[in-house]
Amino acid sequence: MPTSETVLRTLLAVLLCLLPAGCGEADGFPEGSTMARIRDRGVLIVGIKFDQPMFGYKDPAGGRIIGFDAEMARLVAKDLTGSERNIRFVETVSRERENFLAQQVVDLVIATYSITQPRAERVTFTDPYYYAGQDVLVRSGDTRIDELSDLDGKTVCTATGSTSVDNLRAEVPGAELAIVDGYSVCVPALLAGRVDAVSTDDTILLGLQAQHPNALRLVGKPFGREPYGMGVRRQDTVFRDHLNGLIARWLADGQWDRAYRDTIGVSGATSDQSKPAQR
C-alpha cells in the first residue's frame, strides 16, 4: 500500500502537469522544440552579416557585432537563455542564408533578409520586423545620377542572392550589374570609380554612406518596399510562432523603438516607414 508521502508526491506531479508550465515545460518551451534545445545548450547561434553598418557590422576596434539586426538577435537570446550575452554570431552572406539554416549551421538568420516567395519555399519566415526601401549610392561629385532611370548604361554594384538584383533588372534593364558577395566590396569599387553606383536597401546604404560622408551621396529616391523577416528552418512553425510573439511584444513595449534609436536612429533616420504596424 503506498505511503502518504508517495501519494502526496504523485498528486503534486499531476498538479504540476496541469499547469501551463508543467511536465518538462518549466519555461513554457515544448519539449523537443528549437526553443528548448537552445535553452538547454545555453547559447543562441545567429546568422548575420558582418559588413552592413547599422544592421550587422563587425566593429574592427573590438570585434563586437553591432546594428539593428544584432540587437534583435540579442533580444531573442535573452528570451531563450536568460541573457543577451549567450549568443554566437556567424557571418552569413546573402547567398548562404538558406544553406546555413538547412545545414543547421545556425539556429536562425537575422540578416536584412527580405521575405520573398522563392525563399519561403526553402525557409520559414517570421512576420516582418522591419521594412526597407531600395535606393542608390553614388560618388558625391557625380552629377550624372539623380534618378533611378539615370542608371541606364551605368555599372551598378549589388550583392549575390539579394532581392536588389531582381529589382534592378526589372526597373533598369539597361544597367550593367556587378554582382559580388557583399557590399563591403561595392564601396571600395565605387570610391575607385570601377562602378558608378551601389544599390540595395536604403538603410544599408545610409550606413555605408555614413562611413564616407564627404565622398558618397545617397540619391534619396527609394523604390519598392522590402519586408525583413527572421528566417528559421523549413516548417519549424513552433519556433516561428514563438518569434512572432516576441516581435509583437517588442513593437508594443518599446524595445523595438529602443533598438532602432540606438542603431539606425543615430544617423538621423526616422522609423516612420520602417516600423511594422502592431497587431
The pLDDT assigned to 87 comes to 98
Residue 13 has pLDDT above 50, yes or no: no
Q: Which fold has domain 29-129+229-267?
A: D-Maltodextrin-Binding Protein; domain 2 (3.40.190)
pLDDT digits (tens, 9 = 90+) for 21-57: 444 444 689 999 999 999 999 999 999 999 888 999 9
The pLDDT assigned to 18 comes to 43
CATH class of 132-226: alpha beta
The pLDDT assigned to 223 comes to 87
Alpha helices in the chain (DSSP H): 4-18, 34-41, 68-81, 97-102, 117-120, 163-171, 183-191, 202-211, 237-253, 255-262
pLDDT digits (tens, 9 = 90+) for 95-133: 999 999 999 999 999 999 999 999 999 999 999 999 999
User: Are 29-129+229-267 and 132-226 equal in CATH topology?
Assistant: yes
The pLDDT assigned to 7 comes to 42
pLDDT digits (tens, 9 = 90+) for 124-170: 999 999 999 999 999 999 999 999 999 999 999 998 888 899 999 99
The pLDDT assigned to 4 comes to 52
Higher pLDDT, 70 or 22: 70
The domain ranges of the chain are 29-129+229-267, 132-226
The pLDDT assigned to 267 comes to 83
The pLDDT assigned to 227 comes to 94
Is the separation of the CB atoms in 77 and 63 below 8 Å?
no
pLDDT digits (tens, 9 = 90+) for 179-235: 998 888 999 999 999 999 999 988 889 889 988 999 999 998 888 888 999 999 999
DSSP string, 258-274: HHHHHTGGGGT--STTT
Q: Mean pLDDT over residues 79-94, rounded?
A: 97
B/e letters for 188-220, b = 16+ CB within 10 Å, e = fewer, are ebbeeeebbbbbbbbbbbbbbbeeeeeebbbbe
Q: How many angstroms separate the CA atoms of 72 and 93, rounded?
A: 18
The pLDDT assigned to 250 comes to 98
